Amino acid sequence: MQANFSLKNYNTFGVDAYAKQFISVTTAEELIEALSLEKPFLILGGGSNVLFTNNTIESVIQINLKGIEVVEETTNKIILKVAAGENWHQFVMWCVEKNYGGLENLALIPGNVGACPIQNIGAYGVEVKDCIVGVDTLEIATLKNQHFKNEECQFNYRDSIFKNHLKGKQIITAVSFRLTKQNHLLNIDYGAIADELYKNNITTPTIKDIAETVIKIRESKLPNPAEIGNGGSFFKNPIISIEHFKTIQSNYPSIPSYPVSETLIKVPAGWLIEKAGLKGFRDGDAGVHKNQALVLVNYGNASGIEILNLAKHIQKSIKEIFQITLDIEVNII
Q: Which residues are catalytic?
A: 158, 233, 329
84, exposed or middle or buried, with CB in 10 Å at 0-12, 13-18, 19+?
buried
Three-class SS state of 297: strand
* CB proximity list for 4: less than 8 A, separation 6 or greater: 18, 19, 20
Cα 279 from Cα 288, distance rounded (Å): 6
Cα 34 from Cα 38, distance rounded (Å): 6
Please report, for residues 41, 46, 49, 82, 138, the alpha-carbon distance to residue 111 in angstroms, rounded to integers and kept in the order given. 20, 5, 7, 14, 20
* CB proximity list for 79: less than 8 A, separation 6 or greater: 70, 71, 72, 73, 133, 176, 177, 178, 179
State the first-to-last Cα distance of the chain, in angstroms, to the nearest integer. Answer: 21
Please report, for residues 231, 263, 291, 293, the alpha-carbon distance to residue 220 in angstroms, rounded to integers and kept in the order given. 16, 34, 8, 13
Task: Compute the 3-state secondary structure of the chain and give helix, strand, coil in percent, each to the nearest 5.
Answer: 30, 30, 40
Residues 310 and 286: beta-carbon distance below 8 Å: yes
- Cis peptide bond N-terminal to 225, omega within 30: no
